Amino acid sequence: MSAGSGIEVPESTSPLGTSSSFMSAPLSRRKLFKRAGAMALGLAVGPELLAACSSSPSTTSAAKGSASLADVSIQLNYLENVQFAGTLMAMSKGYYKDAGLNVTVLPGGPNLAPEPVVVSGRALVGVTHTAEGAQAILNGAPLKIIGAAFQKSPTCLVSRASNPIRNPQEMIGKTIGVSDTNLPIWKAFLKVNNIPPSSVKVNTVEFSTQPLADGQIDGLIGFYTNEPIILDLQGVPTYAFLLADFGYPIVDDIYIARSSDLADASTRKQIVGLMTGEAKGWRAAFADPHEAASLAVYDYGKSLHLVFQQQFESVKAEQALVTSPATASHGLLWMTPETVAETVKSLALGGTNATPGMFTNEILTEVYSNGIIS
């Protein structure tokens, strides 16, 4: 699930606010990041992975060919909207160039996993969901998690204000819309809150908000920075609570890089430069959410027909989830031992046996030692 799209999608086509046009033959993200592990182990890979690793780069890439800049790419797990406000601001303000990089932004989609793209070397850094990145590592992908945009996951339960669901216990006896992608999160959330699965009716809703607006369902698992804002702007007042506030804390939109690239002095310097741009970009986005939303709507995401007010409200909502006391002390994207431990525990509830060793702040330590502040 991805935040901040402002795009409605027909049911059973793609995840939240996404377009199903990225690949002609659907292939689940779970299969793709399993292929990342296979790729790391030197096994044969099929045409689906090759397709994922050869998708067309975004038009937001800087001009190629500058002898003074190193050409690198960042692979997103979603479209170019304010979910990646830090990236868009870094591109616009030249923060990557300041670090000696000519960065191409590779947009993601419902059937493209960042993990194999990074493993293949086509992207220097990827942004992915935590469970999927951790599972790819468990499957053998030689990756490290080097930062986290969301210190607190935006995953939420949204309901209509006229019939609010204010806590997990109030879901009992209700009908909740859950996508196939979010079923592991849903099952883990029920488990941690001691709610029998049979006590809640689940409808498979592939992220259209219309069933909730129409009253076909009582609640919907979505993103705090997306569906509630979409519905409110459509004149449907909502009530939403974060899963993180009820026993399911997790960092999300993690940054991943190859372990071998972290060990190579030259490539490591590029990763530090790219993450410096990300940190500066997020700081700039929160300083000027209007500009961040404008970049998404009128520039980098122009072809997506985004709604400005939704993008603007999303940036403002993101700030409370991207920033924290830890980022105030250490810098944006930082992962404390406490948040890592909570994340590992939450992932285990969903069947992903992550370990703290998958996470490292070594790149961010260099970023902030170079004078970047949160």
SS (HEC) of 108-132: CECCECHHHHHHCCCCCEEEECHHH
CATH superfamily to which 155-246 belongs:
Periplasmic binding protein-like II (3.40.190.10)
Q: Where are the domains of the chain?
A: 29-152+250-369, 155-246
Eight-class DSSP state of 356: G
Indicate the residue type of 69: L
Q: Are 281 and 88 in contact (CB under 8 A)?
A: yes
Instruction: Specify whether domain 29-152+250-369 bears CATH 3.40.190.10.
Output: yes
What pTM does this model have?
0.84
Q: What is the pLDDT along the chain (374 residues), one digit of tens a residue?
A: 443 444 433 332 222 232 222 222 333 444 444 444 544 444 333 333 434 443 444 545 544 445 699 999 999 998 999 999 999 999 999 999 999 999 999 999 877 899 999 999 999 999 999 999 999 999 999 999 999 999 999 999 999 999 999 999 999 999 999 988 788 899 999 999 999 999 999 999 876 899 999 999 999 999 999 999 999 999 999 999 999 999 999 999 999 999 999 999 999 999 999 999 999 999 999 999 999 999 999 999 999 999 999 999 999 999 999 999 999 999 999 999 999 999 999 999 989 999 999 999 999 999 999 776 64
Taking the C-alpha atoms of 2, 168, 147 and 369 in order, what is their torsion angle to the nearest 10 degrees? 130
Q: How far is CA 69 from CA 88, 102, 141, in A?
A: 19, 6, 29
Helices (H) and strands (E) in the chain, counts: 16, 10
Pairwise CA distance, residues 7 & 314, whole Å: 13
| 112/51 Cα distance (integer angstroms) | 9
Cα→Cα distances 187→195, 197, 207, 224, 350, Å: 9, 8, 18, 19, 7
Other CB atoms within 10 Å distance of the CB of residue 183: 14
- CA separation (Å) from 49 to 35, 57, 253, 307? 7, 16, 21, 33
Q: Which residue has the tokens 């080097």?
A: 146
Amino acid at 309: Q
Which tokens in the block code for residue 74? Answer: 């960042």
What is the distance between the alpha carbons of residues 374 and 369, in angstroms, rounded to a whole number? 12
3-state SS, residue 27: coil
DSSP string, 188-221: HHHHHTT--GGGSEEEE--S-SHHHHTTSSSEEE
Distance, CA of 140 to CA of 41 (rounded, Å): 7
Q: Same topology for domains 29-152+250-369 and 155-246, yes or no?
A: yes
CA distance 7 to 16: 8
